[in-house]
Each structure stands twice: as C-alpha cells, then as structure tokens.
Amino acid sequence: MVGSSASTPTRPPSSGPGPASLASEDRLVLRRANFRDLGRVAPEAGFTAVEGCLFDLGLSSDQLADRSRGFGIRTGGPLDLRFDPSRGAPAAELLANLGQRELRTLFRRYGEEPFADRIARAIVEARRTAPIERAEELAALVEAAVPAPVRGRRRIHPATRVFQALRIAVNDELEALREGLVAAVDLLRPGGRLVVLSYHSLEDRIVKRFIAAERRGCTCPSEAPVCVCGRRPRLRPLTRRPLRPGSVEVLTNPRARSARLRAAERLAA
C-alpha cells in the first residue's frame, strides 16, 4: 500500500492475539517517501514482487487542519503547501517570483482555473505593496478578483483551484505520480492489482492514460507495418470507467465526493 509522503518511518505495536490486522507488526511498514521513490523504498523494505499497490492521492484531514503549512483555505496559516517541508520551496516563493504570464499558465495547467488571468494580475498588483505569505491573504485576494458564483449552484471556495495548482507545483505531484505508477507496475507480480484513488481530473487523466498505454503495450506509430518496439501489454483494466462514491457515502463523508477509483491487473511479463 502506498501511503502519504508525510508518513513517519515506524512500526506500530502488535495488536496481540487473534486475526491479523493492518496494524499488526508483521503487516505494516511505514516509510517517509514520495510516490516517485516507490521503486527504491519498496525493495529496501522487503517488497519485491507484490500482490497489490494502492495509491491514495488525497490530502489527509490532518494536513488540511495543519495551520503551519496552509493547506486549508479557511484554516489559514503560512502559505507553504509542501508535503515535506524539508524539500523544495514554499508556495509563497512561487507567488513572489513568478511573472504574471507564468502564474496564469500555472493556474490554468494545474488548477484548470477559468479566471487565471484575472487572478494572476491581482497577485502581481497586490505583491507590489506587500508579499503574499499567508493562506488567508491569498484566499481573500482570489475571492475579490473573480466574479460571484451563480446563485443556486453548489459553492466551493473561489480559491480552491488556485490552491490546488500551487500545491501541485510545489510538490511536483503529477510527475511524481507518473513515476510512481511505472514503479508500481514493475513491482507487481502477474495477477497483482494496481488501484488508484484520485481526487481531480488531472490525476485521473494521468491514471487513465497510463493504464490505457500499458494495456496497449506497443508504442510504434500506427502506420508501422509491424511492431519494432517489442513492448508487450502489462495491464488489464478492471474498471471500464472510474468508480465513484454513492450518495450515502458522500453524506457520511463529504470529502469523498470527488473521489475516483481505477484499477488494473498485472499481466504476465
């Protein structure tokens, strides 16, 4: 199972006699690492040919509530957004150093933000007076820069896509996901399962295309008369379309509403 990159390397105490559980000492090994590190971390922990890999790409409730890193738009705090504060630059540095065109591109590419130009322009104007260093400052700035939502539509905070884009950028999330998926397929034994829970369209698109490419195998141009690349299919999709939570689950756990699950089975090498 692939967990959050913020996990602490430790072993929990044994759960005692009775049926084995996930928390029992012989079933759970935690490592603090990025998804892209899977190909190195798993073998080091003794996992070389595995029956399953689960990627949960969502933020944890603890991260959203952590005021020291600014993940929660309404929680506020320093505008950091790094999963591992010991690596990379915080989001506040991106806002301070990127030009208006670069900010606009970032918000469109990673946040699919329709008002990216307005927001980028507002950020550049605001930082002439003072740096934007706190999550609540950025949230208020974005809210003032975009039109009010149409009455009657479900409202998410106007800064949600901007925060998503900054978080993806500072953590290099999408490239890390691509590298992690490749490592997972390399680790899976024939018949093993790859399961990915994603929470926005950018992640889901990467997973969908990755599974499709591994199902196809051959990367030769369509006009080539015969295959010369030698790549064979490595995955068989188990979900024709992503599985979504039902209405009852969303009522009990509203943060599950955007979850999408895709799964595939490893074919023989």
Kindly report, residue by residue over 19-31, the tens digit of the pLDDT: 455 655 667 888 8
What does pTM read for this prediction? 0.83
Task: Give yes or no: residues 188 and 244 share one domain.
Answer: yes
Q: Is residue 12 part of a domain?
A: no
Confidence (pLDDT) at 21 = 58
Task: Give yes or no: residues 117 and 167 share one domain.
Answer: yes
Residues 115, 144: contact at Cβ < 8 Å? no
CA distances from 232 to 48, 87, 90, 229, 268 (A): 21, 37, 41, 9, 10
Q: Is residue 73 part of a domain?
A: yes
Please count the structural domains in the chain: 2
Q: Could you tell me the two tokens for 126?
A: 């605001």
Task: Give yes or no: residues 43 and 76 share one domain.
Answer: no
Out of 112, 144, 171, a domain closes at 171
Task: Give yes or no: residues 92 and 164 share one domain.
Answer: yes
Question: Is pLDDT at 17 greater than 50 in this prediction?
Answer: no
Closest by CA to 195, choosing from 247, 235, 168, is 235
CATH number at residue 233: 3.40.50.150
- Distance (Å, whole) CA 157 – CA 139: 8
Q: How many residues does the chain have?
A: 269
Task: Give yes or no: residues 163 and 103 share one domain.
Answer: yes
Task: Give yes or no: residues 46 and 138 share one domain.
Answer: no
Question: Is pLDDT at 240 greater than 60 in this prediction?
Answer: yes
Task: Give yes or no: residues 88 and 163 share one domain.
Answer: yes
Task: Give yes or no: residues 246 and 261 share one domain.
Answer: yes
Question: Is pLDDT at 1 greater than 80 in this prediction?
Answer: no
CATH number at residue 96: 1.10.150.170
CB neighbour burial string for 148-175, b if at least 16 within 10 angstroms, e if fewer: eeeeeeeeeebbebbbbbbbbbbbebbe
Structural domain harbouring 246 = 35-61+173-266
* Range from 57-66, 138-147, 184-193, 248-257 carrying the lowest mean pLDDT: 57-66
13 — pLDDT class (breaks 50, 70, 90)? very low
- Distance (Å, whole) CA 92 – CA 170: 10
Confidence (pLDDT) at 154 = 56
- Distance (Å, whole) CA 119 – CA 141: 8
Task: Give yes or no: residues 69 and 53 share one domain.
Answer: no
Task: Give yes or no: residues 184 and 248 share one domain.
Answer: yes
Strands 50-56 and 188-198: what pairing? parallel
Out of 155, 171, 187, a domain closes at 171
Residues 259, 199: contact at Cβ < 8 Å? yes
Out of 148, 171, 194, a domain closes at 171
Q: Is residue 26 part of a domain?
A: no
What contacts 14, CB < 8 A, 6 or more positions away? 24, 25, 26
- Distance (Å, whole) CA 118 – CA 98: 15
